[in-house]
Structure 1
Amino acid sequence: MTAESQIRREASVEAGWRQVARFGDALTTGADLVNAAERAVMAALEQLEGSAPASAEGGGADLLCFFVCGADPEEVTLAGKRVMALAGDAVTLGCSSTGVIGGGRGVEGQGAVSVWCASLPDVEITPFRLDTVIEGDHLAVVGMREPGPRDRAAILLANPYEFPTQAFVRESTDALHGLPVVGGMADGLRGEESVRLFVDGDVAENGAIGVLVGGDGVLGTVVSQGCRPIGPSMTVTKAEGNLLVELAGTNAYEKLEELVDGLSEEDRELAAQGLHIGIAMDEYADHHEQGDFLIRSLSGADPEIGALTIGDMVEVGQTVRFQVRDAGTADEDLARRLASFGTDRSVGAGLLFSCNGRGTALFPRSDHDVLAVRRILGVDAVAGLFAAGEIGPVSGVNHVHEFTACLLAFSR
């Protein structure tokens, strides 16, 4: 936040004006990305100004987040620069993507710009940029300050092709004293060469960027993994890194075959499309049901050695359970988690990081997740991107996910 905006805020308090959070969002499409960017940012800011009390002069956006999808990386850069130039005193944060969310819809694989802006009188906003440096025989991430007592969350956007996002997020829970990290991995329609990151007027192609947000105006996070368990829970009795070798004392591959043979025809078809595995987050629970697991992909099976390859490290003694995902399950899980989160909370807006596999690859339409958030939480200003990997906490521990919807909610 600039000194000018802080002075404006203090003046309004002295004048006795009651400040409330205000939000705006817009999504525009078009082959001319710069023009689309201009239209999106102006439309979002107009909503903000239109909701301001008549006595509150000035009072523009404090935080403006934006997401750009386009075929030409240089046009994406120009569009991002144009958004930041029009953002006034707001802290700006954005990135390229293969699809954007806003204005109650989602757009994938075509030129589009989504802008979300907020006037946040009860929120402190601190932008940061992360880079890697060589320290001895390993890489270290620099650029993140210690979270303060009022910090509630960190929004993180990363280049997945060269920034060690998995390692950083895995260590962030302890390093940041339990601070929730929510966000997503940037991408572009041309892959690695098209990734762009935007923060507070600057453009970067590498590293990661974000903002720390603090204060009572930050409500918290919702993470929907969208899977349901099949078969029984089993204890890992032999493992090597991300290889499951034995489950419940039996060859893991044979356990999988046994499970699939016993499935209904519907679940067998879902398993054939992509099977997942859940790692129980609470080993002391008597039962492990839907929502009690950290979901990871099952990426390989080797009948020769009887092992299964999964997308995370596992240890002997952990409880796991196979999982399947379909549109119905994903819809029900998101609705249940949003409804539970919204109880006794006055949600005003949200930033949504949805997997690029949850758009039309999973649902009939690209707008499924954003419409669910708006309907169930009763909010309009919800925007974000279709990410190449989503970031959010499960059971108080930060993780990088696949096929999830992660939301950071702000109060009215």
Structure 2
Amino acid sequence: MATFGEALATGADLVSAAERAVLRAVAPLDGPVDLLCFFVCGEDPDEVVLAGERVMAHGGGAVAVGCSATGVIGEGRGVEEQGAVSVWAARLPGVTLTPFRLDVVPEEDHLAVVGMHEPTPSDRAALLLANPYEFPAQSFVEQSTTALGGLPLVGGLADGMRGQDSVRLFLEGEVADSGAVGLILGGDNVVGTMVSQGCRPIGPAMAVTKAEGNTIVELAGAPAYEKVEGVINALPEEEQELASLGLHIGIAMDEYAERHEHGDFLVRAVVGADPDEGTLTIGDMVEVGQTVRFQVRDRDTADTDLAQRLRAFEESAPGRTDSVLLFSCNGRGVSMFATADHDVRAVRQTLGTDNVSGFFAAGEIGPVAGGNHLHGFTACLLAFAR
């Protein structure tokens, strides 16, 4: 039977915090540790490395994987922008673990990602932690659905309190500042994954009638900028304010659905608008014929969506979840909910487990409608059973 432990420790001495966290995390396990996942937030990248090495040193023969972050999650709370270490430990006698380290190498006229293992029929999910500053995370994740035979991919983009130069990845005693690390997990103890995007649609669904790459030129036969102006101007004043804080667009996952409502879209940010050209630029490639609908995100919508997704997840496998790895956007902590504890508390309460660890990511990875995607402002999880 699988057993789990988790702990979060804070303090100015990050190495001491790491030791305290790992010792508390492994204490409840009734046997050797098979897997350690850990996340380190600290001001000094060198101290982050020392803290990560201290965690791995206590792993014995365990597979150990982790990364730096600007905030960590554990013991029912989130801690952002201060020295903290979260450690999740598991004894998984029924689970196979296949670690991997991904690098980018030149190959003829393009760059290729090397190091990924081919899944087996018994594999249930893969965990991925990546450096977002130099690893092609979005293209890799999008292509992984086909390359991995539909295997769900979940995880997050690492970061550091000093930005690009402070990102660190950890795997089996080694430290890297580039690429990606992770592992493939197989066996019935892997319950599944969940993604909460936390947006709600505004305005009508519209067809893309002209597009170039990630630029929408026309919607429903009219300039895209003109269409979004019309949608926003028709909103109540409070929703216009939400749109001004960050407008998103949903790309319909089922083109043949009669209606496209909440939860029917892959949500992407609107990253640019050109009133002279009449175009919108979004955070993904878009094709003519796709159906899109504008979206807004706010605290209440994100809270409601997470609650609904968690209830649906629990209903799909009632009572099976005993432990969770949680990857929440670094925009979902105090900046959205006024507390960094919101997501972890919701997961613990709805799924009925006290064992939830993770980190605040610079981008979250999880499957939606059978395809792996890189997200923003989401909460993604990987659940385990005893």
TM-score category by the smaller chain? over 0.9
- 1:164 is displaced (CA, Å) by 1.0
Q: Tell me, what secondary structure is at the counterpart of 2:48?
A: helix
The equivalences for 1:9-408 within 5 A come to 20-48=1-29, 52=30, 59-343=31-315, 344-345=317-318, 346-408=320-382
The AA in structure 2 aligned to 1:366 is A
The AA in structure 1 aligned to 2:14 is L
- 1:94 is displaced (CA, Å) by 0.3
Q: Percent identity?
A: 69
The AA in structure 2 aligned to 1:43 is R
- 1:265 is displaced (CA, Å) by 1.3
Q: Tell me, what secondary structure is at the counterpart of 2:27?
A: helix
- 1:281 is displaced (CA, Å) by 0.3
Please tell me the root mean square deviation across aligned C-alpha atoms, in Å: 0.8
Could you list the per-position Cα deviations for residues 193-249 of structure 1 after superposition, in whole angstroms to 9, with x for gaps in the alignment?
111100011111111000110011111110000000011111111111111111111
**Where does residue 384 of structure 2 map in the other structure?**
410
- 1:339 is displaced (CA, Å) by 0.5
- 1:47 is displaced (CA, Å) by 2.4
The AA in structure 2 aligned to 1:29 is T
Could you list the per-position Cα deviations for residues 101-125 of structure 1 after superposition, in whole angstroms to 9, with x for gaps in the alignment?
0010000000000000111122111
Cα distance in structure 1, aligned partners of 2:166 and 2:338: 28
Could you list the per-position Cα deviations for residues 250-295 of structure 1 after superposition, in whole angstroms to 9, with x for gaps in the alignment?
1111111111111011111100111100000000111111111000
Q: Tell me, what secondary structure is at the counterpart of 1:237?
A: strand
Cα distance in structure 2, aligned partners of 1:399 and 1:174: 12
The AA in structure 2 aligned to 1:41 is V
Instruction: Tell me the TM-score normalized by structure 2.
Output: 0.98
Cα distance in structure 2, aligned partners of 1:60 and 1:105: 27
Cα distance in structure 2, aligned partners of 1:266 and 1:354: 26
Instruction: Tell me the TM-score normalized by structure 1.
Output: 0.92
List gaps (5 residues or longer) in structure 1. 1-19, 53-58
- 1:60 is displaced (CA, Å) by 2.0
Equivalenced residues, count: 384
Cα distance in structure 2, aligned partners of 1:76 and 1:395: 36
Cα distance in structure 1, aligned partners of 2:226 and 2:114: 45
Cα distance in structure 2, aligned partners of 1:198 and 1:137: 30
- 1:90 is displaced (CA, Å) by 1.2
Cα distance in structure 2, aligned partners of 1:300 and 1:286: 30
Cα distance in structure 2, aligned partners of 1:165 and 1:244: 23
Cα distance in structure 2, aligned partners of 1:78 and 1:399: 32
The AA in structure 2 aligned to 1:291 is G
**Where does residue 16 of structure 1 map in the other structure?**
none
Q: Tell me, what secondary structure is at the counterpart of 2:307?
A: helix
The AA in structure 1 aligned to 2:56 is M
The AA in structure 1 aligned to 2:346 is A
Q: Tell me, what secondary structure is at the counterpart of 1:260?
A: helix
Q: Tell me, what secondary structure is at the counterpart of 1:315?
A: coil
Cα distance in structure 1, aligned partners of 2:238 and 2:382: 34
The AA in structure 1 aligned to 2:207 is T
Cα distance in structure 2, aligned partners of 1:39 and 1:292: 44
List gaps (5 residues or longer) in structure 2. none
- 1:132 is displaced (CA, Å) by 1.3
Cα distance in structure 1, aligned partners of 2:237 and 2:28: 50
The AA in structure 2 aligned to 1:149 is P
Cα distance in structure 2, aligned partners of 1:266 and 1:191: 34
The AA in structure 1 aligned to 2:9 is T
- 1:87 is displaced (CA, Å) by 1.3
